[in-house]
Amino acid sequence: MDAQTIDGIIERHPQDPSSIIQVLLDIQNELYYLPKDVLEYVSKRLGVPMSRSYHLATFYKAFSLKPKGKYPIAVCTGTACHVQGAMKIYDQISRELHITEGERTADNRFSIESVRCLGCCGLAPVVTVGKNLHGKIPVAKVNKILQQYK
């Protein structure tokens, strides 16, 4: 994202520190993460200390400092999901998308990470894709689920 695009996002909001969260959300929605140099630039433009911006970027789950896809995939590898074959699901997704832990696809559509217990163990094995939760997934259905996300 070039500086002109970032300036455009900043200018959609009041030019003061109170806009920081909304500006960061807009950038997150465009890039699917917050690059360090962009965070520094926005902090400077809005007069927010970098330590505060960094705190916000790491505190809220809506933000990521690592590149993510438009549809971040989280494969639960907690105990209940592990027992129900979470790693086979993970491997299938990884094979299908040609990405592994922390990576994102070349088209920026997906990224993958493993997580510990999403709090719905009764639905094991559980995978989230973007904001959607998929439970009791058979390995054979993984590709069909991924195809839902364009």
Is 81 a binding residue for ligand FES by CB under 6 A? The answer is yes
How far apart (Å, rounded) are the C-alpha atoms in residues 64 and 8?
A: 21
The residue from 31, 74, 117, 133 that contacts ligand FES (CB under 6 A) is: 117
Tell me, residue by residue from 13 to 52, as one string, x for binding to ligand FES by CB under 6 A and - for no binding.
----------------------------------------
Burial class (CB in 10 A: 0-12, 13-18, 19+), 98: exposed
If one counts every other C-beta atom within 10 angstroms of the C-beta of residue 136, the result is: 11
| 3-state SS assignment for residue 142 | helix
Q: Is 120 in the site for ligand FES (CB under 6 A)?
A: yes
Q: Is 79 in the site for ligand FES (CB under 6 A)?
A: yes
Q: Select 4 or 119, whichever has its Cβ closest to ligand FES.
A: 119
